[in-house]
Structure formats: C-alpha cells, structure tokens
Structure 1
Amino acid sequence: MNNIQPIRLDSVELSPPVALAPMAGITDLPFRQLVRKFGAGWVVSEMIASQEMVQAKPGFREKAELGFGQAGTAVQIAGRDAYWMAEAARMVEANGAALIDINMGCPAKKVTNGYSGSALLREPDHALRLIEAVVAAVDVPVTLKTRLGWDHDCLNAATVAARAEEAGIRMVTIHGRTRQQFYKGRADWAAIRAIRDAVTIPVIANGDIVDTASASEALRLSGAAGVMIGRGAQGRPWQPALIGARLFGGKMPDIPTGADFVAMVAGHYEAILAFYGTDLGLRVARKHLGWYMDEAGAPAALRRVILTAGTPAQVFELLPDALAHGERVAA
C-alpha cells in the first residue's frame, strides 16, 4: 500500500486518484452519488451532446445533473461546434460542476458519424479549436478523455495530448484502445506511457481495469497518475474506492453484506425511481438490479421475476431473497 497521492487541479482535489468512468445509460445521478458515497476520487457524467443540452432537448440536461455542490463531480460534454461546446461548458459551470471533461474517445458510430467523439482524433486542428473554446469559456479545470488514436495507422494521442496541454487542458484520460478497436481485444496499458511522457499534466489510464490487480498492472505499465473504472463498478459501486484504498492508502470502504447489501440496493432502486419517475425508472433500474443479482448469485427463476416485475412493490418484496445468495468478493 502506497501513501495516497491526490491529484490537484486548482482548488479541486481528486483523492484517491481512482474515478468512475462515464458510461452511457449507466452513470446517471443516482449511480454516481452512490459510487461517490463509497469514496471514489471523482465521478464523471454520461457523455452529453453540447448543442442538445443548451437547446434543452428532453433528457440531455438530466444527464448532467450531479447533485451540484458535491466535491469530485465532472460533466462530460461532446460536440463538433466550438460555439455549442463553449455554451454547454458555461451552463454546467454555472450549475456547479467541479470539472468539465471533453469527450474525444467515444467510438459509437452515431457519434463519430457526426464528427464528434473519437472522430476528432482524425482532425486534431479542429479538436484543438474546440478545446480552446471550452477552456476560454470557464474558470473550472477542463480535462480530456480520448483513445490511443483512430486506428493503428493513426496513433496520435501523444501529439494531441501535448497540444491539449498547451491549450489549457489540466488532465488527460486515455482509453488504451484505438477507435477502430471499439471494445475488442485488450486495452494496451503500456501504450499509454507514450502519452504520459509527452505531457506534464496528470494522465489517467482507462480500459479493462476492473479490480485491484488490473489497476496495479495498468499503473505499472502506463506510469499513469491514476485509473478510471467502468464496468468493474457495475454491481459493485464500492469498487473505485476499494481499489483506491488498496493501491494508494486511505480509508477502506465499508463493503455491504447481508441485510446491509439489501438496504443499499433498495436505496439505489428508490433513488432511480425518484429521479426518473416510476415508469421509466422501472426500466432503467433493471440493468443495475441484474448486476447486483449477478454479484449475489441470485437464482435464475427469481432473477427473471424481478427483472420483469411491473411494480416497484414486487421488486422490493423479492429483493431480500434474491440478494441473500452468495457473498460479495472484494476484488
């Protein structure tokens, strides 16, 4: 166990240097608040399309809600137009976000076909104009999340990161794949070291980091200042805090078991219903309930009943039996 080494970006302290990654349809306000409560260094919102957010299209502003005023919260914005990116940044800063993260890593075709996300790796000059516009628009630290490059013939993340630092970016997170890899194969943590060596700002490693062992290896190979956890936190909202405590020191999270685990899941379920309303909340909650039941080893028949339940009352009634099976393993 090492002494904790927080990342400081102006008045924002990220400690431990282990974060919850932005995940579409997953890292909404209820889940981010739960992960942050366990002690993650910081949490990042789902990617938000900047123009749609500013124009108040349904569903977009809700993605940015973070329980503003809480420490260690970032809103991730994406887009192609410098005006809308700057306006979205001003909006989330005014609402109290501690950090603004620019997405240049999303590989989804609906994003890259709009020349946003990782498509910007193919147009670094234009990407820098977007970065400059966002940095100039706000006073809070601006960070960047991207990939190694568009493909293996365009591994330009080190150059992009160096130029981004010159433009005022304060931290860079690198997913250790190219856009063309999507999520196939294995993340190349060693390749992240080239980006770390190209900048003086903190670099965060991302991709296939799910537990303490993978986080430790990613840090060793990349030389990064911290790690970002995605699917490893699904069903285990304490995971970023646990990895942070084991690798960097500090307080170990209280990992709930038995009745405490049931109470945590029920509380998360209630928060989802309150945030989305009952009809939409029932659907949104299913993936989280599924991951929690995977973690607990719930019987398949009971799992099916819960995931097709038509009312919250049915779910609350069955949760204790579904979650009573198995023990959660601290990874």
Structure 2
Amino acid sequence: MDIHQIRKLQIGSVTLPNNLILGPMAGVTDLPFRLLCKEQGAGLLCMEMVSAKAILYKNKNTESLLSIDEREKPVSLQMFGSDPQIMAQIAKQIEERPFDILDINMGCPVPKIVNNGEGSALMKNPLLAGQIIESIVKAIDKPVTVKIRKGFDDEHVNAVELAHVAEESGASAVAVHGRTREQYYSGKADWDIIRQVKEAVSIPVIGNGDLLSAEDVIKMQEQTGCDGFMIARGAQGNPWIFSQILHYFETGEHQEKPSFEEVRRMILRHARMMIEFKGEYTGIHEMRKHTAWYTAGYPHSSRLRAAVNTVESLEQLEELLYK
C-alpha cells in the first residue's frame, strides 16, 4: 500500500502539516468543533463563512464567527460577497487577525446567498469571479484560495474554466466540490471534474465531496490526482475521521470505531466548550444536532435523537446520555 497520500501541502506561503482539510460548514465549523478536529489531526481548519457586507456594517453576529484560537493554526477564514471593492476592502481590514489563508466562497448553494449573486451564483459569472479574486489578492499578503463547485447546474459545468480564472487571478489553491449548485448535497459527487481541474491548473487542487473514510481518500487520490482532501459532512459527529485516516495511512490498519463511552465523553466535552464559547442557551441548543450526528449508528440512537431536542442544559444532556 502506498502510504504517501497523506503529505504536507504548500498553499502560497503556508505549509500545512498534512493535506486533510476540515471543510467550511455554516453552523458547524465553529471554534469548539474546529479545536476538536485539530486534536484529531486535521491539517487545515476552515471557519464558517462570513459575509463581507456583514463585517462592513459591523453586524454583531460576525465577531464570534471571526474568533480564532492560536491552538487551531493553520486556519482558513472564508468570506463571501459579490462586490470586488468591498471584498478587497474587508480583506485588508481583517488581515491582521490570526488566520493563515483567506478563502473566497463561490460554492454555497443556499437560495438567499445565490439570489444575492453570491456563493455559487458566481460560477455563472467568471468575469466577476476573476475581478473579486484579483482585487483581494492585490489587497492582502496572505494566500487567497477559492472554493467552487462542479458548475451551477448540469447545463453549466464550468469548474475547469473557474479554476483557470482563479489561477490567473492569483489564487494560491482551489477546492472543488464535485456537485453542481442544483444538486446541493444530494446524489453522488462527480470526482472526474476534480481530475479535470487538476489536469488544467498548476496551483494545488483540493477535492471535496463524499469523503467519509480512508478508502474514499485513496479512491479520490487515484481517480483525480488531487493535492488535498476536504472533509466536510464526513466530520459531522465524527471528528475522529482525521485520526482514523492518518492512522490507516501510517499503519495500513483501521482504527476501531469509538466506543459509545468515548462518544459520550466527546459529546459532553464538546458541549462544555460550546457553553464556554456561546453561553448555555445557544451552546446547548446547537449541541442538539451535534449529539444526533455523534450517536447515529449506535444502539438506541433513534430514541436518543428524539429526546435530545428537548434538552435545555448540560445536566439534562448528561442525564440523557447516561440513561
């Protein structure tokens, strides 16, 4: 078995300790969750996406989205917007914050983002996409990366064109999700489009979509030749995925699935971190979905998932888990 798939990855001036990347997920990749994934060996952590306009207008919710802990580094801050001047202005304004890489979101499929001409809507406007990337690259010294999809829909599959635009506009890497905007997260990710992008550009290409195990990483590596692997939904309720993949590449052996006791301990630790970071009300409410993800596939998990939606405190969560 070739054990060289997991390697350091250079993105501009930043060297990642390995090429396993926690993908950005709104409402999921907040500071507590990123720290847990870092402990398990993730080579780069991507933050939840933040709106350039929200920073511009000093929206009170953006400050917690911009929080970074020194223990996380290297970390990528993801910004979205559609105005090249505002994007560049905000990139410069926040550059002194302790993130290592600035990522531009051109993949988010959510209607309110797309209807604003942001996120994956930019896949339909390569000229504007290029202007945004170029303006940000000129405004800051930190490496700039871009996250795109296969295309907007099956009639407009243009990831290769967008990746060329990104490279020519000065991006240091591009991440490609093998689904169109119209697919959202359904159906199977098309890894062949990742291969096509890899063959078309010389900057690092990070593959994203349906990475749930070490075998998936091997298959994506073989099929696409991509440089890095972005794990998003595969990490929900399973921060261990990073250590599992690293262990497999180091030893050729599968790490055992965490015992339910380990899962319980991780949920409670995660909950305490969430409460510390967001306060008990928000922290516990947000832990409900995490708890459902953590316990999926374990005995009695459906009963537990139904009950967790009534939990209002750490004590109640603990009580439920030890029933």
TM-score in same-fold range (> 0.5): yes
**Cα 1:296/1:283, change in 2 over 3 Å:** same
| Structure 1 Cα separation of the partners of residues 113 and 104 of structure 2 | 14
Deviates more, 1:100-109 or 1:78-87: 78-87
Contact 2:206–2:229, Cα closer than 8 Å, also in 1: yes
Q: Larger deviation: 280-289 or 60-69?
A: 60-69
Q: Which residue of 2 is the match for residue 102 of structure 1?
A: 104
1:221 to 220, 223, 228: 223
Match runs of 1:194-233 below 5 Å: 194-233=196-235
Counterpart of 1:111 (choices 94, 97, 113) is: 113
- Structure 1 residue runs of 5 or longer lacking an equivalent are 322-331
**2:99 counterpart SS class:** coil
Q: Which residue of 2 aligns with 1:310?
A: 312
Cα deviation code 1:189-240 (max 9, x no counterpart): 0121111111111101111111122222122211111211111111110213
CA separation in 2, counterparts of 1:258 and 1:180? 37
Q: Which residue of 2 aligns with 1:326?
A: none
- Give 1:60's aligned residue: 62
- In the alignment, residue 125 of structure 1 is paired with which amino acid? L
Give, in whole Å, the separation in 1 of the partners of 2:302 and 2:223.
Answer: 39
Instruction: Give me the whole-angstrom Cα distance separating, in 1, the residues matched to 2:184 and 2:307.
Output: 33
Matched residues in 1 for 2:58 and 2:319: separation? Answer: 38
Whether the 8 Å CA contact 2:151–2:157 is kept in 1: the answer is yes
Residue in 1 aligned with 2:47? 45
Match of residue 139 from structure 1: 141
Q: Give the ranges of 4+ consecutive aligned residues of structure 1 lying more than 6 Å apart after TM superposition.
A: 252-255
Q: Which has the larger displacement, 20-29 or 91-100?
A: 91-100
SS at match of 2:105: strand
Please give the alpha-carbon distance, in whole angstroms, between the structure 2 residues aligned to 1:262 and 1:2. Answer: 32
Structure 2 vs 1, CA of residues 145 and 247 (structure 1 numbering), >3 Å: closer, same or farther? farther
* Equivalenced residues, count: 321
- Mapped to 1, the partners of 2:108 and 2:94 lie a distance apart of 20
Give 1:286 shift.
0.5
What's the counterpart of residue 125 of structure 2? 123
* Distance in 2 of aligned mates of 1:270 and 1:26: 16
Matched letter for residue 199 of structure 1: V
1:9 CA displacement: 2.4
Letter aligned with residue 98 of structure 2: G
Equivalent pair of 2:248/2:255 in contact (CA under 8 Å): no
Residue 138 of structure 1 and its aligned partner are, at CA, apart by: 1.3
* 2:295 alignment partner in structure 1: 293
* AA matched with 1:97: F
Alignment CA distance shift 1:179-1:305 (3 Å) = closer
**TM-score, length-normalised on structure 2?**
0.91
Residue 88 of structure 1 aligns to a residue whose secondary structure is helix
Gaps of 5+ in 2: none
> What is the deviation of 1:72?
1.8
Shift of 1:75: 0.7
Change in 2 beyond 3 A, CA 1:38/1:69: closer
1-structure distance, mates of 2:280, 2:232: 26
